Structure formats: C-alpha cells, structure tokens
Amino acid sequence: MTARVHHADRVFARLLLPAVALGALTLGMSAAEAAGTLNVLTWCDHEDPALLHPFETANDVKVNFKDIDSTAAALAVLKQSKPGDWDVLVIDQTDTGRLSKLGVLEPLAAKDYPFASIPATIADPKLTSVDGTLYTVPEKFGYNTVAYNKSMVDPAAMTDINAPWDPKYKGRVAVYDYYVPEIEYAAIALGKDPATLGDGDLAAVKDKLVALKQNAAMVGDVTTVQQALATGAVDMLVGGGEWVTAGLSKDQPNLDYMIPHQGGVRWQQGLGVFATSKEKPLAVKFIQYILSPDGQAKLATSSCYWGMPANSQASLTPAQKTILRWDDQAKFVKASHPYLQMTPEFDKKLQALWASVLQSK
C-alpha cells in the first residue's frame, strides 16, 4: 500500500512538476509580452495570420484577439473584464450610437483615417458619429439580399425582390435567421422604406415573412444556410450576399448574389477604440493598418467571410474585384438600405415579430 502511495506520488510529481514549470513559463512569457500586446474584440474575419502578421511585425506587438459575433457578445465580454483589458472593437456600425452613449468608445480624429477614399454613403456620420464626434471608422460592408445558384435559378428572375415568394421555388429557399435584415427585406418587398418602419407596418411585414417562411425549406444561422446553399439543399438564400458566395467562388462558381431592382439591405462594420484602452496610440495604428490598401485587401478576402472593403484604394486583384462585383458597387450601395438604428423598445417589438414568424406553421 505504502509502496503504491509512493509510486503514485512519484507519478504525480512527474506529471505535476513539468506542468507547473510550463505554467510558470507561460505566465512569465505573457507578462514579458504584455507591454507589446493589443487586445482586440473581433469578428472572425480579423483573425487570419496573413492579416495580422504585417502589423505585428511592423510594431513589434502581439495582437491578442477574442472572437465575438455581435455587439451584445462584446458587451458581455466587457462586463466580465477590467477597464483597460480591451483596446479595439469590431462593431456593427448601427450600434455606434448605442455604445458611445454607454461611454464605451473613445472619440476618434477623422484626419487619422482615409475618409477621402471611403464612399460618402459608407462614411455616413449617422453610422460613424454622435453629435459630430467620430467614434467608429468604417472598414467593410456587404449585403443581405438574395444569393442564389445560377445554374438552378434564372438570374434575371432574381432581379425581382418577390422571387423568393414565388410558389415555383417552394422548398428551394433558405432564409438567414437574423431578424433585422429579414424584416427590412420584407418591408422593401412591400414597397416600404425600412427607415420609416413603425408599429403600424409590423402586421403587414409579419404576414409577408410568414408567407416567405411557408415557401422556404428552412430558416437557419450563417453556417446552416451557407451549407444548404453550397450543397444544393436550396437554390437561393434570402439574406445572403457576397459574405456567403464570394469565399466559395473557387469551388462553387455558380453561386452569386444581386440586389433586386426594388433594393436590398446593407451591413456595415467598423472599428472603434475603447475609452478605457491603455494602448490608444497603438489602437489607432491598428485601425490605420486595417484601413490601408493592403489591410483592406486582406480583410475583404478573409478566410472567414468576404466583403467589400470600405477603402476604395484596397489592393485587390482584378479577379477578386470581379468576385466581389466591384463595378456594381456604386449601383448596389445606392439601392441598399443600412441596418435599422432603433430604440431598444422597437428592437424588442421586432424580435417578438420574428419569434411569431418562426412559430408560424
């Protein structure tokens, strides 16, 4: 028994000591590198080593990122962090006002960023600023419109926003499950301007979405709907766009997207600096790097998802520009509506509407 205990002690010591040594070494390394670390709350498209490495090398820093998928996720992380833990935030620019009111964001100087190369609609102060103060810089945008397999459906038919409601496509449609763009898309299909949506419009929007769901094979999250379109389980995706099709273009050249003549919905993400950051100059440098032609090209063609770079000087290849439908952008931006900026109260109403759509038979 004693021998066994001693043997167990020896085994324990053998396992434990290296583990303790490794842990101490790791902690030591972390501490040694802490001064040169930039902490970024980011969506998955900023995590490619090819994007981060040039910045890390040029500034002798390590970019430590944490993956988030929404502003709410970022707020949840912030609640569990100490002030100063995070330096840079990737944000859905619709939430710029909301976060600046919470005092989370640091005011930025417009002169530090290439606004001259960013289309005016994308640089719209409604999305970047509050009371004339800049809080976020646009970096990437794209569309929630209709993505489709052009070998299975007629691209000409997709120019009508009502195509996914056509009974001939029953069971061949997928719907992306984010309620904000879907509600806006249905409003556009009803001939309404999403920006003026009010309580009186919600019943009609709900009926329109219920009809869409009845014609659809599925409603699903990013992974599910992208997989469904890529595997041929469905032929079109309402709420899809270049973020679904462009990254797959090499293997799935038949996947494409377009903005119907009635219009579509535009998503837009930006970068902000946390008010409590201890590395503000470095955070500004990071945003400048991401907004540089090289940073923009790498961000636009991220392995996670593609999207249009905000800076029109992005050093994309002609082939990449074709995949992103570069030449159509002026037309697409004009025809698309940004995500709704709404009160939490109206947002709750839309969420309840979406829940009732999902619950409908």
Partner 1 sequence: MGVGTAEQVIASSIVTASPAARAALRVRLAGLLYVTPAVLWVLVFFFAPVLIMAGYSFLPLDANGELGSVGTGDYRAFFAQGAYLGALWNSIVTTAIVVACSSLLAYPFAYGIARLVAPRFQRIALAAAILPFWTSYVVRSYAWLLALSPTGVINYTLRSLRLIDHPLILAYNPHATELGFIHFFIMLNTLTIYANLVQINPRYALAAQDLGASKWWGFLTVTLPLSVPGIAVGAFLTIVLCIGDYVTPQILGGFRELLLPQLIMMQIQRQLDLPMASAMSLILTVVVAMAYLAMQRWLKMARL
Closest CA to 218 of 149, 167, 171: 171
Would you list the DSSP string of 103-121? T-BPPB-GGGS-GGGS-TT
Q: Indicate the residue among 251 and 345 with the shorter CB distance to partner 1.
A: 345
* One of 13, 19, 76, 152 touching partner 1 (CB under 8 A): 76
Contact (Cβ atoms closer than 8 angstroms) between residue 39 and residue 88: yes
**Cα–Cα distance, 206 to 202 (Å, whole number):** 6
Phi, psi of 162 (to 5 degrees): -85, 0
Number of residues near partner 1 (by CB under 8 A) = 37
Q: Applying CB under 8 A, does 199 fall inside the site for partner 1? A: no
Stretch that binds partner 1, among 57-65, 116-124, 221-229, 240-248 (CB under 8 A): 221-229
Binding to partner 1 (CB under 8 A) within 82-101 occurs at 98, 101
CB of 101 to partner 1, least distance (A): 8
Stretch that binds partner 1, among 14-22, 104-112, 274-282, 344-352 (CB under 8 A): 344-352
Q: Applying CB under 8 A, does 183 fall inside the site for partner 1? A: no
CB of 16 to partner 1, least distance (A): 21
255: left (phi over 0), alpha (psi -120 to 50) or beta: beta
Stretch that binds partner 1, among 35-43, 71-79, 81-89, 114-122 (CB under 8 A): 71-79
Q: Find the helix or strand (DSSP H, E) in which 63 lies.
A: strand 62-67
Q: Applying CB under 8 A, does 248 fall inside the site for partner 1? A: no
Identity (one letter) of the amino acid at 334?
K
**Cα–Cα distance, 183 to 189 (Å, whole number):** 10
Q: Applying CB under 8 A, does 72 fall inside the site for partner 1? A: yes
Q: Find the helix or strand (DSSP H, E) in which 290 lies.
A: helix 280-290
User: 237 to each of 55, 149, 169, 217, how far by Cα in Å?
Assistant: 36, 9, 11, 10
CB of 209 to partner 1, least distance (A): 12
CB of 221 to partner 1, least distance (A): 7
* One of 210, 211, 248, 358 touching partner 1 (CB under 8 A): 358
Q: Residue 35 burial by CB count (10 A; 0-12/13-18/19+): exposed, middle or buried?
A: exposed
Residue with tokens 């509050």: 130
Q: Applying CB under 8 A, does 112 fall inside the site for partner 1? A: no
Q: Applying CB under 8 A, does 304 fall inside the site for partner 1? A: no
**Site residues for partner 1 per CB under 8 A:** 69-70, 72-73, 75-76, 98, 101, 171, 175, 177, 179-180, 217-221, 224, 227-228, 231-234, 343-345, 347-348, 351-352, 354-356, 358-359
